A and B are shown apart, each in its own frame.
Chain A
Amino acid sequence: MAEELIAFPSKAEMLDRSRQFWNPDKTQFWMDSGVPLVIDRREGYFIYDVGGKRLIDVHLNGGTYNLGHRNPEVAAAVTAAMQRFDIGNHHFPSLARTALAEALVNTAPPGLTKVVFGSGGGEAIDIALKTARHATKKRRIVSIAKAYHGHTGLAVATGDDRFSTLFLADRPDEFTHVPFNDLAAMEDALRGRDVAAVIMETIPATYGFPLPAPGYLEGTKKLCERYGALYIADEVQTGLMRTGELWAITKHGIAPDILVTGKGISGGMYPVSAVLVSEAAAGWLSEDGFAHMSTFGGAELGCIAALKTLEITCRPEIRSLVFYIADVLGRGLRRIQSAYPDWFTGIRQDGLVMGLEFGHPQGAKFVMKRLYEHGVWAIFSTLDPRVLQFKPGLLLTPDLCAELLDRAEVAIAAARDDAGSARPGGRPPALPARGTTPGAPGPRESPARRDPPSAGPASPANGRWVR
C-alpha cells in the first residue's frame, strides 16, 4: 500500500520532483551543502538515508526526538489510543487533554496552573504572547536579537527580521529586540512600562546555544517584575530534561509567568504543543474560553503521546542517564578540543544542550559536512555558523556515545583541514555560504544582520534557515 502512495524510480528523480513540487531552494541547499539526505527509516537515534546510509542523529529536530525516533513506548501508546481516539473535538472538555494538562501542571515550575494547547511551537508562542497582552493590557513584546521562537504571526516578529520582512510581517513598533546577555539593554527596553512580556529561550538554540551569563536570566526576571512585564520561558528546545532538569529555567530558580513547550513533548509521534500559564496571567480562559481556537490544538492523539513522553521523561532513571551522557560526551569533546584548540575553540554545554564553536566564520558548516560523511547528523547554527548544534538524545547508551565521539573526532579533524585552506576568514570552498556573509562578525558584536539579496531564480531566497 505504501509503495503505491510513495514511488520514485530513483533518489535523483525524487529530488527533482522535490524541487519541482515542494521547495526548490531547500532541496538544493542540502545538495550543495554536502548533506544529500532524504530520511527513510528511522529508529532510536539512527536515521537512514534512502540509499541506506546510517546516521546518528544529534540534531533531533531540536529535541523532538529526545527519546529516540519512534520510541516504542510512545508508539505503542499512540497505536493503542488510535483504537479509541482521533484528534478529537477542540471545543469540548476532553479526557486526554485534561489528563495531560494536569500532568503538565504537576511537573511544572511553581505557579503555573493552567494549560492552553496548540499544534506546534509557533502557535504556542502566539498563544503565550496573546495571553501576556491580555493579562497586562500592554502590546510591546521584548525578545533578544537573533531569537527564534517560530514563524507564526506573532512569533515571527520576535525573531530575526530576515524572516519577517520577507513576508512583510515585521512589527518594529510592537516588537523590541535587545542584545543577549545585556541587562542594561533589557532595562532600557522595559523602563517605559509598556511591555507585556519578555520572551526568552533559556538557552537560545538557533543562535548556537550561547549560555546566559550568570545572573542574566535572573536579572531579567527581576526587571520584568519591576516594570510590570511577564516573563515567558520558551522551553521548546531546552525543556524536557535536556539540561538534567525537566525545565531548564528551574536551574535558574525562576518561576516564569508563562512556559512554552513543543517539539519533544509528544515524542515526535504526533504534533502537539502547550502553554503553561500562571493563574494571574490566565484570565482570558475564564473571561472568554473560546478566544483562542485551533482545530488541531491539543489533538487527543498528541496528548496521549505527550502523556507517555512526559511519564518516561520524568522517570528518575532518565534523569540519571542525562547526567551520565552529559558527563561522558562533555569530557570526550573536551579531549577532542584539546587536540585542536585553535580550530575547535569552545564548548557551550548545559547537560545535553551543546554548542560547539569553531575558529572559522562558517566553521560549523565544514564540520556538519564531515560529520555527515562520517555518519553523524548535526546541524550548524544558522544565526552563528561558527557554532554547531550538538543535541544528543536522552537515552544514549555508553557504546553509542563512544561511537559518536569516535566519529566526531575524525570529522572535526577533517573539517579543520577543509577550513584550513579557506582561512583566515575565507569562505568554505565546497559549501554554499548562503544564509550568512562570510567573515561576518560574531553574533555578540552584530545583533541583527541580513544577507545581501542574491539575484536570479536559481538562488531565490536571501537567507537559509535551518531549524
Chain B
Amino acid sequence: MKATTAAGGGFVGYGPGEKPRWEEYSKCIHCGLCLNACPTYRELGLEMDSPRGRIHQMIQVDRGRLAVAESFVRHIDLCLDCRSCETACPSGVEYGRLVEAARGQIQEYYRRPAAFRLLQRFFLCQILPHPSRLEKLGKLLRFYQRSGAERVVLASGLLKLLPRHVAALAPLAPRMEKPFFTERLGAVVPAEGPRRYRVGFLAGCIASLAFARLNEATVRVLARNGCEVVIPAGQGCCGALQVHSGLRERARELALRNIRVFEDGGFDAIVTNAAGCGSVLKEYPQLFEHEQQAHYTAAQAFSKRMRDVTEFLDEIGLNSSFGRLERRVTYQDSCHLLHAQRIRSAPRNLMAHVPGINLIELKESEICCGSAGIYNVLHPEMASRLLQSKMKRVDESEADWIVTANPGCLLQLSAGVRASSRPERRVMHVIELLDEAYECNSASGRRI
C-alpha cells in the first residue's frame, strides 16, 4: 500500500491481511447478470452500487487505479451483504467473501469519523460480545420502553438533538421481551415422546432479549419433533455483525467461544432460528483460512453440524399433527437463508404441512427488505426505500400474514406493516406459525 494519486485520492492497493484476491475476483466475467438481483442497483441504477461494479472497484484498488478512500468506502458500505448477487451469478463468484475481505481492509486502513468509530467499538466490541453487559443494557432499554419514557422522548423531538445515526437507532430499537431468554441458558429441554435427536440451540445475543418468545417457540417446536434441546451456557454472539463490518479479529474470538461451547455436546445438529447468524455460523471456516490449522479444523467440524431450524425440520420429516389455520400467508425469503445458505424450499415445505394455510408467492420475495443486520441503522434512507418497495409487493399479495425466517427481517417488516394501510397484518417467523398450528391442535381446533 502506498500513497499515490489514484482516483479518489489517498492510499492505493491493499494492505497486509485478508483482501479480495485474484483467484476469487477473476471468476467475475462482468456479464452483468447480477445487476437486477441487487437491491441497491435496483433502487439507484448505478453501476458503482451493483455487484459487478463493486467487484470492479475492488479490482481497481488491487490494480492501484482506485484508492481506499471516500468513494470506494461509500459504495462498499452501501452493500447490504445480502448475497442476492451470488444466487444470480452463473460464474460462481463468492461475492460475500470478497466484500467481507474488502471491509476488513477498510476497517484496518481507512479512518472513519470519530463518532462512527466510537459507536462501532462500543456496540460491536464492548456490548454484543459480553452477554452480561448486553443484558444490563437490555434491562435498561426494557425499562425505558415500558415506563412510558420512550413515548415521551419520541414525542418530544429530543432525538433531534442527537447525531443522525443515533437518532435513527432509537425508534428502531427492538422491543425487549420479558422474561429474557438468557434465563434459559444451561437448560436441557426433553423431547416430547421418544428422543430422536439431540440438538444444541444457539439462541443469539440480541435475540435472547428481543425474541425470547420466538426462541421459546423454537424450543417447543423442536421438542414436539422428538428433539432433546440443549441450550448450552457460555454461548454468545455469533459474530455476524462483526464480520459484516470487517471486524474480523473480533469475529474470530466470538467464533472460537461458540465452537468450544458446542464442541463436546454430542449434538446431532446445532440449530439456530436466525438466518443471518446461521450463514456466518456455517461460514466460520472462512474466518480461519489463514489461521491455525487446529482452529480451522474445529470450525469445519462445527459448521458441518450447523443447521437452520427450517432446514433441520424439513430434513428430519415434520411431525404434522397440526390444527387448522385458515389464513392467506406470504413468505419473504430471508436473504441469508436463500442467498447465503441456499435454502428456498424448506420453509415453504414446512408451511405446506399446515392445513388451511394458503401460501401466496410474494413477487420479488428474493429481494432484501432492507433489514440486513444493522444496515437499517447505518443507511436508513436506502433501508426505507427497500422497505417501501417490499410493502408494495406485500399489498399486491393481499396476505393476512407475512412469514419470514430471521429476526432482523421480522423487525423491518413489522416496521413496514405499522406504517402501512393494514397495520393489523401479522409478521411472524415460520417457526411461530408452526408453533401456533401445533397449539391450536392441542387446544382441539381452537381457531385463532
Do they bind each other? no
Residues of B within 8 A of A (CB): none
